[in-house]
């Protein structure tokens, strides 16, 4: 059961040289590009991409996905700018030689019933999938607290209603706990859709992130089942061991090694190689 490791390398450092050093030192050969040099990936200019990409490639690091914040806006905000951002993300994906863009499913106003906004969410998600198809890229939809698809049933609802081969799921163990859900109960619902695990664990007691296998994310059980059923995709480290924010988390170089070692320990326990 082989596996592929990726990471949001801006969890290590904003400096791409430090990012690359610690990815390679820890045996992580893929990067999910979310940010570098103090900028979110969506703010990169063409000349910056042209400088960055060969530096990663020359050291043997490839890109698993573009970790965009698309869909991390209010459902009541204008939609067309998000379509334009998707087109820009597609351009970035092609420049970094990946076909995958991580997206979200829009924040629901606090205190309102998400079902009230279901038709507009579905319209927008279908619009993003159609735009991605036209650009020749694939989308992975992440569960995130406060957005429409934060819980498993609504995450699945979006995937089933959009029902396009270029939209699949990123499964974040910790985010389900943050929403009061059991990741082990969410997994069978999402199993056939998941192409990427975002690896951060979390303790129910204090909702704090912790290394893989040390919280309540049921990472061992879920990965064991995934590999036993032939799953193949990316395991993307997003540990948030130092800080967790709305648009970015941080771990640092030392704790990044802790996070990688913990995940590798879990993978050894479940028989992945």
Instruction: State yes or no: pLDDT of 96 exceeds 90.
Output: yes
Using 50, 70 and 90 to split pLDDT, how confident is the model at 244? Answer: low
Whole-number average pLDDT of the chain: 95
Across the range 176-192, mean pLDDT stands at: 97
Q: What is the 3-state secondary structure (H, E, C) of the chain?
A: CCCEEEECHHHCCCCHHHHHHHHHHCCCCEEEECEECCEEHHHCCHHHHHHHHHHHHHCCCEEEEECCCCCCCECCCCCHHHHHHHHHHHHHHHHCCCCEEEECCCECCCCCCHHHHHHHHHHHHHHHHHHHHHHCCEEEEECCCCEHHHCHHHHHHHHHHHCCCCEEEEEEHHHHHHCCCCHHHHHHHHHHHEEEEEECEECCCCCCEECCCCCCCCHHHHHHHHHHCCCCCEEEECCCCCEECCCCEECCHHHHHHHHHHHHHHHHHCCCC
- Summarize the confidence of residues 106-110 as an average pLDDT: 96
- Taking residues 232-243, what's their average pLDDT? 88
Q: pLDDT value at position 160? A: 98
- Amino acid 249: pLDDT: 61
> Binning pLDDT at 50, 70 and 90, where does residue 250 land?
low
Tell me what pLDDT residue 49 has.
Answer: 97
Q: Residue 246: its pLDDT value, please?
A: 53
Q: What would the pLDDT profile of 118-173 be if each residue is shown by its tens digit?
A: 999 999 999 999 999 999 999 999 999 999 999 999 999 999 999 999 999 999 99
pLDDT tens, position by position, 147-158: 999 999 999 999
Cβ-contact 69, 35 below 8 angstroms: no
* Residue 195 and residue 226 in contact, taking contact as beta carbons nearer than 8 Å: no
Q: Do 267 and 216 form a contact (C-beta atoms < 8 A)?
A: no
> Quick check: 43 pLDDT over 60?
yes
Torsion angle of the four alpha carbons 132, 133, 136, 138, in this order, in degrees rounded to the nearest 10: 60
Average pLDDT for 54-66: 98
What is this structure's pTM? 0.95
List the domains of the chain with CATH numbers.
Answer: 4-269 (3.20.20.150)
């Amino acid at each position: 059961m082989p596996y592929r490791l990726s990471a949001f390398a801006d969890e290590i450092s904003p400096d791409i040289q430090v990012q690359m050093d610690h990815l390679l030192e820890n045996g992580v050969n893929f990067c999910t590009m979310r940010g570098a040099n103090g900028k979110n990936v969506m703010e990169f200019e063409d000349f910056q991409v042209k400088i960055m990409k060969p530096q990663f490639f020359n050291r043997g690091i490839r890109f698993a996905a573009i970790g965009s914040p698309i869909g991390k806006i209010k459902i009541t905000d204008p939609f067309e700018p998000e379509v334009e951002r998707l087109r820009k993300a597609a351009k970035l994906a092609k420049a970094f030689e990946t076909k995958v863009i991580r997206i979200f499913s829009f924040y629901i106003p606090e205190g309102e019933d998400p079902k009230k906004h279901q038709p507009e969410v579905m319209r927008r998600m279908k619009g993003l999938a159609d735009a991605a198809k036209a650009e020749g890229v694939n989308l992975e939809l992440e569960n995130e607290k406060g957005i429409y698809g934060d819980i498993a049933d609504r995450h699945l609802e979006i995937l089933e209603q959009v029902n396009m081969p270029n939209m699949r799921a990123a499964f974040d163990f910790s985010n389900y706990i943050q929403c009061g859900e059991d990741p082990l109960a969410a997994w069978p619902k999402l199993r056939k859709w998941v192409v990427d695990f975002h690896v951060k664990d979390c303790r129910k007691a204090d909702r704090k992130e912790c290394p893989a296998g040390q919280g309540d994310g049921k990472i061992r059980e879920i990965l064991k089942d995934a590999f036993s059923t032939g799953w193949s995709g990316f395991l993307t480290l997003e540990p948030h061991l130092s800080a967790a924010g709305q648009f970015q988390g941080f771990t640092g170089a030392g704790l990044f090694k802790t996070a990688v070692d913990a995940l590798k320990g879990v993978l050894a326990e479940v028989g992945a190689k």
